Structure 1
Amino acid sequence: MALMPAVYEYDRYAELCNDLAAVGHPAELHGHLVGRLAAGTRLDHASWLRVAQELLDGRASLAEAGKVMLIQLHDATLAQLTGSGFEITLLLPDDDSPIALRSQALGQWCNGFLGGFGLVEREAELSEEANGVLHDFAAIAQIQAEADDSEANESDYMEVMEYVRMASLMLFSECQPADKGQPEPPAALH
Structure 2
Amino acid sequence: MSLINERQDFSTIADIFLLHGSMQAPSFLDGRLCASLALHDLDAEGWLQMVCYNLGVEQPRDETSAEHLLGWRRQTLEALSAAEMNYEPLLPDELFSLGERAQGLQDWTLGFLEVVRDAGEEPRKQWSEALREAIDDLAGLTDIETDIDDSTENENDLFALTEHARMAAMMLYTEQHPGQPQVEQTEQQGPAH
Q: Fold-level match, TM-score > 0.5?
A: yes
Identity %: 27
Residues in 1 aligned to 2:7 and 2:81: alpha-carbon distance in whole angstroms:
20
Could you say if the C-alpha distance between residues 123 and 150 of structure 1 is closer, same or farther in structure 2, counting changes exceeding 3 Å?
closer
Aligned residues of 2:49 and 2:59 also touching (Cα < 8 A):
no
Q: Which runs of 4+ in 1 moved over 4 A?
A: 121-124, 178-182
**Number of residues paired by the alignment?**
177
1:44 aligns to 2:35 (yes or no) = no
Deviation, 1:179, is 6.7
Q: Deviation per CA, 1:91-138, whole angstroms, max 9, x where unpaired?
A: 111123100000000010011111223344645613332222222222
Match of 2:77, SS state, is: helix
Residue 28 of structure 2 corresponds to 28
Counterpart in the other structure of 2:163: 162
1-structure distance, mates of 2:119, 2:103: 25
CA contact (8 A) 2:52 2:58 kept: no
Normalising by structure 2, we get a TM-score of 0.80
Determine whether 1:142 maps to 2:140.
Answer: no
Residue 67 of structure 2 corresponds to residue 68 of structure 1: yes
Displacement, 1:29? 0.8
Distance in 2, matches of 1:132 and 1:62, equals 38
Structure-2 change in CA distance of 1:171 and 1:33 (3 Å): same
Richer in helix (by share): 2
How far apart are 1:4 and its partner, in Å?
4.2
TM-score by length of 1: 0.82
- Larger mean Cα displacement after TM superposition, 14-23 or 76-85: 14-23
Return the offset for 1:162. Answer: 1.1
Alpha-carbon spacing, 1:128–1:18, altered in 2? closer, same or farther (3 Å): same
Gaps of 5+ in 1: 183-190
Where does residue 110 of structure 1 map in the other structure?
109
